[in-house]
Structure 1
Amino acid sequence: MSNTEPWLAAVGDNCIDEIGAKPDEGARFHPSVRLAGGNAVNVAVQAQILGLPSTYFGAVGRDDNGDIIARELHRNGVDTSFLVRRSKPTSVTQVHVTDKGERIIALEDFGACAGYRPSEASFERLLEAAHIHIGWLDDGGALKRRLKAAGCSLSQDLSVNNAPEHLTPDALDIAFCSQPGSPQAAEALGKGLLEKGADLVVVTRGAEGASVISPSRSLHLPAEPISPVDTTGAGDSFIAGFLVARLQGADDAEAAKAGIRRASATCLHEGGFPQRSE
């Protein structure tokens, strides 16, 4: 990409989604499908698919799963110049599928993602991005505060980590989160995050739609009526659609509609983006 072309940076988590039926008691889990994913990876790939050049900053292991992540990023045109290989296994998420098709996360092993920190060379490159999105990153918010002090445009998904010390909304231009349910519940959540320092809050509500909460107003938009094949990565795809639209000049309502369209498209195939399953 040229030095003047706007681009998106996605920092943090990746994983291999191992999807399979719940095993019998005491039996070993055997995945039927292995797909590349993770919030930051999905956002980077989806942004690239939508035409916005993207670069991924994160770590995988020196193993077959790491090869899958690297391959899918490269295949979709994402810049992997700052992808790090570590002597730890690549992150894995095991997902059980119920008889009704519901997906239940049974195990998350963050592997090589745990403890990842961008190098100084990576940090200098991040300063050149039009926008930086952070996924799961266990640094207590240190990176985003340093980037904010440097004047960067930042967002983070606050629904990908249960450890509150890593998910404070301060320093964020946009705080993304997920809470299925009513607009009223989303608005209460959004106002709470605004009070804690976020400039704008976007709440995805699953099949109910999405809400955008700012200090001056709240917007609530319905989801598109679809019959989903797989909802994995739908929220990540929403984030990519929202960010790309915003960077192209859309207002909050149009950006949310773009996010909803992207999330709906993702629900019609397996995984967070189209890929060859392992």
Structure 2
Amino acid sequence: MSGAGTADGSGTRVSPGAAGGPVTDVLTFGETMAALRGSGPLRLGGTMELSVAGAESNVAIGLARLGHRVRWAGAVGDDEAGELVLRTLRAEGVDVALASRDAGAPTGLLLFEPRLPDVTRVHYYRTGSAGSRLTADAVERAFTAGGPPRVLHLTGITAALGEAPRAACERALRLAREHGTWVCLDVNHRSRLWSRDEAAAVLRSWAPYADVLIASDDELPLCLGPSDGPVADLPSQAKELLGRGVSEVVVKLGARGATAYTAQGELHFPARPVRAVDPVGAGDAFVAGYLSALLDGVDAAGRLDRAVTCGAFAVAGRGDWEGAPTRAELGLLGEGDGTVVR
């Protein structure tokens, strides 16, 4: 049997595999903001480029470019910035039919301020935004309108926005379990939004719901809960998470590539060498590539291959999502080489 959103008779989830009909491949939601990129120090003024940015919508766009059916069920304000968000996602082939417009709150704003060749400061204006008031209603509709998705993608960012978005995420996790939908959880810790202890308290309870748990090496301990003791090595952390019910633990290592841990063992894939222009959005492109290959039924080595390939495309260009590749472009970086098995 194949296709997430189905069960194997015992009520357990099964691998997404190939789709059997026009269902949603991936459902995600969160806060997408209007994004302004400065040409230099903000206090000096100058020109700014307007776009949109948000981890979950970055992943949605990346998956849509790779040919998957993606639904984004986030919230924006009833304003021009919100219209920009929805227009951009629609233009990239993302289904926004269930996105909500909040007339009582603005769309969030994000400012990027380049300070050094490799350092960009980020300024958030998202307190009281529409995204911080997201409720579970949109999640409920997304699981009933057109049938449940094959994969639910969540990040820790949405949980950090407030009690209502956190409750929406937790409702989505329960619905995914009820419907046999696979869950991908990307930790994506934002220290500007919540502390490590706050994040750990939430993520520890979420981790057992995840089929695929993705984190950078410094984020992975958050999924094991608050701790005052020494941090175990990555294989030990991954083994503990696998013991708690996670099927795959994927650790992003930046320029060193990525490692996947499963019950079958450990698999590492090096990063693809490209001239790095902008690291913003690389992690989201990585996730999109990994989920794309998972949906295609590709093995673990192929999933890591596509993930690091998409991440390389992202760092080679500017913007949160603009550099994400199409499926036809994957071969430009030689997808299919470089696996290292341990």
TM normalised by structure 1 equals 0.86
Partner of 1:179: 217
- Closer, same or farther: CA 142–166 of 1 in aligned 2, 3 Å: farther
Residue 14 (structure 1) aligns with: 32
CA gap of 1:197–1:159, structure 2 versus 1, over 3 A, is: farther
Residue 305 (structure 2) aligned to one of 232, 257, 261: 257
CA drift of 1:196 comes to 4.5
8 A contact 1:174–1:202 mirrored in 2: yes
Q: Deviations over 1:66-99 (max 9, x none)?
A: 1221111011111110111112111223332122
| Cα distance between partner residues in 2 of 1:3 and 1:126 | 13
Quote the residue 1:240 is aligned against. Answer: 288
Task: Give secondary structure in 1 for the equivalent of 2:50.
Answer: strand
CA shift at 1:9, angstroms? 1.4
Matched, 1:137 2:158: yes
Q: Does 1:42 align with 2:80?
A: no
- Equivalent in 117, 124, 147 of residue 135 of structure 2: 117
2:174 pairs with 1:158: no
Tell me the distance in 1 between the aligned counterparts of 2:254 and 2:52: 22
Give the partner amino acid of 2:148: E
The residue aligned with 2:112 is: 95
**Aligned with 1:222 (options 270, 280, 296):** 270
Matched positions, count: 269
**Max radius of gyration: which structure?**
2
Give the TM-score normalised by structure 2.
Answer: 0.71
Amino acid at match of 2:108: S
Which stretch shifts more, 245-254 or 160-169? 160-169
Which stretch shifts more, 222-231 or 146-155?
A: 146-155
Unaligned runs of 5+ in 2: 1-18, 160-165, 220-231, 324-342
Q: Whose helix proportion is higher, 1 or 2?
A: 2
1:95–1:107 CA contact under 8 A, matched in 2: no
Tell me which amino acid in the other structure corresponds to 2:105: K
How big is each residue's C-alpha offset from its partner over 1:16-61, in whole Å with a ceiling of 9 and x where there is no partner?
Answer: 33322344xxx48777223212111011111110011111110011
In the alignment, which residue of structure 1 is the partner of 2:328? none
Residues 166 and 95 of structure 1, relative CA distance in 2, 3 Å threshold: farther
State the secondary structure of the residue aligned to 1:175: strand
Measured at CA, do residues 201 and 231 of structure 1 come closer, stay the same or move farther in structure 2, by a change above 3 Å? same
How far residue 215 of structure 1 moved from its aligned partner, in angstroms, is 3.1
Residue 319 of structure 2 corresponds to residue 271 of structure 1: yes
- Whether the 8 Å CA contact 1:39–1:236 is kept in 2: the answer is yes
Quick one: structure 1 residues 188 and 159, their matched pair in 2 at CA, closer, same or farther if it must change by over 3 Å? farther
Supply the distance in 1 between the matched residues of 2:319 and 2:271 (Cα, whole angstroms): 19
User: Do the aligned partners of 1:44 and 1:56 also contact (CA within 8 Å) in 2?
Assistant: yes
How far apart are the structure 2 equivalents of 1:238 and 1:82?
A: 25
- Counting only pairs closer than 5 Å after superposition, residues 181-220 of structure 1 correspond to structure 2 as 186-220=234-268
Percent of paired sites with the same residue? 24
- Separation in structure 2 between the aligned mates of residue 89 and residue 189 of structure 1, nearest angstrom: 40
SS at 2:130's partner residue? helix
Q: 1:188 to 1:35 in 2, by over 3 A?
A: farther
